[in-house]
């Protein structure tokens, strides 16, 4: 599967995908990396791995719609089959993503629908949550509001700060993204008007990341 990754920051999730691809754990080829920040870590990672890159500055465009039109023109040129938003910090224009229904996913550091948007770790601690986690979801026009594919969970410790909680979650976040991309590339996961299907089953709730890195039905796992 031809995959394009969007990223705005250091690129740790991109690095996880590149490393899994290099270990032959993913039946994908990352054909391009796009960023709205030319000097971000994700671009440096992609260049070091020999992956084509493209960057655009939103300030060079009159509005979001025209910026996204230019962005997705590059995606089309790369002949992408799947777009992965991995720490991409811009909201995408609804018209730009419409042709990509079911072929664009995002990883978000919370147990959606809790805490869409920013500062998720701080918000989880402020709310007194005992569990925190990450979600991979299909992208729609609603911010972090598309159907959730799968989640990874970590227990919140009494002495956690936003920084320690984020650091403890990150390895699970990486494994979750790799597992979801693998399932999509293997055509085990798909989304249509009938909902998300995993194999022959229609999902009634998000899948969970198991210890072995596989995706399993949440009911098959004991709650922490």
| pLDDT tens column, 168-203 | 999 999 999 999 999 999 999 999 888 999 999 999
Specify the pTM: 0.95
CATH code for 1-100? 3.40.50.170
Residue 135: helix, strand or coil by DSSP? Answer: strand
Residue 44 pLDDT = 98
Cα–chain center distance at 184: 12
Main-chain phi, psi angles of 113, to 5 degrees: -85, 5
- Any idea where the domains of the chain sit in the sequence? 1-100, 107-224
Superfamily of the domain at 107-224: Formyl transferase, N-terminal domain (3.40.50.170)
Residue 180: helix, strand or coil by DSSP? Answer: helix
Tell me if domain 1-100 and domain 107-224 are identical in fold.
yes
* Residue 146, Cβ density class (10 Å: 0-12 exposed, 13-18 middle, ≥19 buried): buried
Q: Which residues are catalytic?
A: 108
Q: How many CB atoms lie within 10 A of CB 50?
A: 7
| pLDDT tens column, 103-157 | 999 999 999 999 999 999 999 999 999 999 999 999 999 999 999 999 999 999 9
């Amino acid at each position: 599967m031809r995959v394009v990754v969007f990223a705005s920051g250091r690129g740790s999730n991109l690095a996880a995908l590149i490393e899994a691809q290099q270990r032959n754990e993913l039946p994908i080829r990352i054909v391009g990396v796009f960023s709205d920040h030319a000097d971000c870590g994700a671009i440096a990672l992609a260049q070091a791995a020999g992956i084509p890159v493209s960057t655009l500055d939103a300030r060079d465009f009159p509005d979001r719609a025209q910026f996204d039109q230019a962005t997705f023109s590059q995606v089309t040129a790369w002949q992408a089959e799947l777009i992965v938003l991995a720490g991409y910090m811009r909201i995408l224009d609804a018209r730009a993503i419409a042709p990509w229904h079911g072929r664009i996913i995002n990883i978000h550091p919370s147990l959606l629908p809790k805490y869409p948007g920013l500062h998720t770790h701080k918000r989880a601690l402020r709310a007194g949550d005992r569990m925190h986690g990450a979600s991979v979801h299909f992208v729609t026009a609603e911010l972090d509001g598309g159907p959730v594919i799968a989640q990874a969970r970590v227990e919140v410790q009494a002495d956690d700060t936003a920084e320690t909680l984020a650091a403890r979650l990150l390895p699970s976040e990486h494994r979750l993204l790799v597992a979801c991309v693998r399932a999509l590339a293997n055509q085990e996961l798909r989304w249509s008007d009938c909902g998300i299907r995993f194999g022959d089953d229609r999902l009634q709730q998000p899948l969970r990341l198991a210890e072995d890195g596989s995706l399993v039905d949440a009911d098959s796992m004991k709650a922490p």
